Amino acid sequence: MRVLIIGGTGSFSTRVTELSVQGGHEVMVVSRGQRALFGDLPVNMVQAERNALREQSAALARFAPQVVVDSICFNAEQAEDLVALFPEAQRVVLISTVDVYGEDVGAAPVDESRVPQPVTAYAKNKLAAERVVLDAIGARATVFRPSHILGRSFLTTSLWGRSPYLVDRLRKGKPIPAIDGGRNLMTPVYALDAARWVVASFTQSQANGQVFNAVGAEMVTQRNYYECIAQILGVEAKIVAVPSPVFRRYIDAPTQFNWHRPYSGAKSVARLGFRPAGTLRSMMEETVLHMLEHGLVKDCAEQPFDDALVELALRHEAELGALLSSRPAN
């Protein structure tokens, strides 16, 4: 099949590009040209900004894609371009996000039946894009909502989101600040597993007009996440708790990784035919080793705020401990 991948050189979409080529598809990639593909792949390249996609309509029409994957559609207007440019495509795949479900979804894994309640502008725009595509082309559309993706080219996450400093803090023995000590739940996904589901949807009628969570099989805590990185580095993880009520009160847009965010991938497994292979250990090893080998780890001294935060949290912890210890017996 002729497969067009918009934004096909990104950390995740490169995996889709690779699997499409390996599957024998003829592939065209639309990219801004700021990144090279990982490895030497036989693909056609079109350089363009996502908002200028219509300017490439002639080249895209000549390629006449049977499948279109859009990994960088971020709002309704871009989704309208997607619908208008590819009226003959047999499958249009939109890469969305689990962020559309809301900020804190609770401790039970969320499936696709949950009514979206996006909080951030990013999530609201992604949901709007989903609705445009699904409403306009129905059964020809498929939407994937990945969770926290791990694998080569991705950074690990800290209290502040994806961070080049976390690995360095851990290997230097510095404490890691985490909401409520890292008790929140998450279901990270291996990039290659999510890409396999995307490619599987190209030809499967089970994907017609469907929304799928693209998430891993393991539900882990943020503490598990940090401890796994520490084990790979051969060090001990030191976690310092930051109270969630205080964090919520003073941080206007806290990152998604600080709250309960577990999701169910049962629908993807049942309809698209395979279970995710990535474990927390295996996908974290690929992530961390790639960061170390490609200079993606930065000196944590460049981010001194975490040191100040940890110092304050530990001081308050000691003061609270002293007060509790002095409490008279009943």
In a domain, residue 20? The reply is no
Inter-residue long-range contacts of 298-303, CB under 8 Å, 24+ positions, other chains counted: 298/164, 298/165, 298/168, 299/165, 299/168, 300/165, 300/166, 300/168, 300/169, 300/172, 300/174, 302/165, 303/163, 303/165
Alpha helices in 148-260 (DSSP H): 166-171, 191-200, 222-233, 244-250
In a domain, residue 61? The reply is no
In a domain, residue 5? The reply is no
87 Cβ contact partners less than 8 Å away, ≥ 6 residues apart: none
88 Cβ contact partners less than 8 Å away, ≥ 6 residues apart: 64
The predicted structure's pLDDT at residue 256: 64
In a domain, residue 22? The reply is no
The predicted structure's pLDDT at residue 36: 63
Other CB atoms within 10 Å distance of the CB of residue 207: 25
Q: What's the predicted TM-score (pTM) here?
A: 0.94
The predicted structure's pLDDT at residue 255: 66
pLDDT (tens place) for every residue of the chain, 330 residues total: 999 999 888 899 999 999 999 999 999 999 887 566 666 788 888 988 888 889 999 999 999 999 999 999 999 999 999 999 999 999 999 999 999 999 888 899 999 999 999 988 999 999 999 999 999 999 999 999 999 999 999 999 999 999 999 999 999 999 999 999 999 999 999 999 999 999 999 999 999 999 999 999 999 999 999 999 999 999 999 999 999 989 888 887 666 667 899 999 999 999 999 999 999 999 999 999 999 999 999 999 999 999 999 999 999 999 999 999 999 887
In a domain, residue 98? The reply is yes
Domain span at residue 279 reads 73-315
Return d(Cα 166, Cα 164) in angstroms, integer. Answer: 6
Inter-residue long-range contacts of 303-307, CB under 8 Å, 24+ positions, other chains counted: 303/163, 303/165, 306/158, 306/159, 306/165, 306/169, 306/174, 306/176, 306/177, 307/174
The predicted structure's pLDDT at residue 34: 58
Helix count (H) and strand count (E) of the chain? 11, 15
Angle, nearest 10°, between helix axes 222-233 and 280-293? 50
37 within 8 A of 25, measured Cβ to Cβ:
no
Which letter, b or e, does each residue of 255-290 get, where b requires 16 or more Cβ atoms within 10 Å of its Cβ?
bbbbbbbbbbbebbeebbeeebebbbeebbbbbbeb
| Domain harbouring 206, CATH code | 3.40.50.720
In a domain, residue 38? The reply is no
In a domain, residue 235? The reply is yes
Return d(Cα 201, Cα 215) in angstroms, integer. Answer: 15
The predicted structure's pLDDT at residue 257: 64
Please give the tally of structural domains in the chain: 1
Structure tokens at 12: 């995740």
In a domain, residue 330? The reply is no
285 Cβ contact partners less than 8 Å away, ≥ 6 residues apart: 232
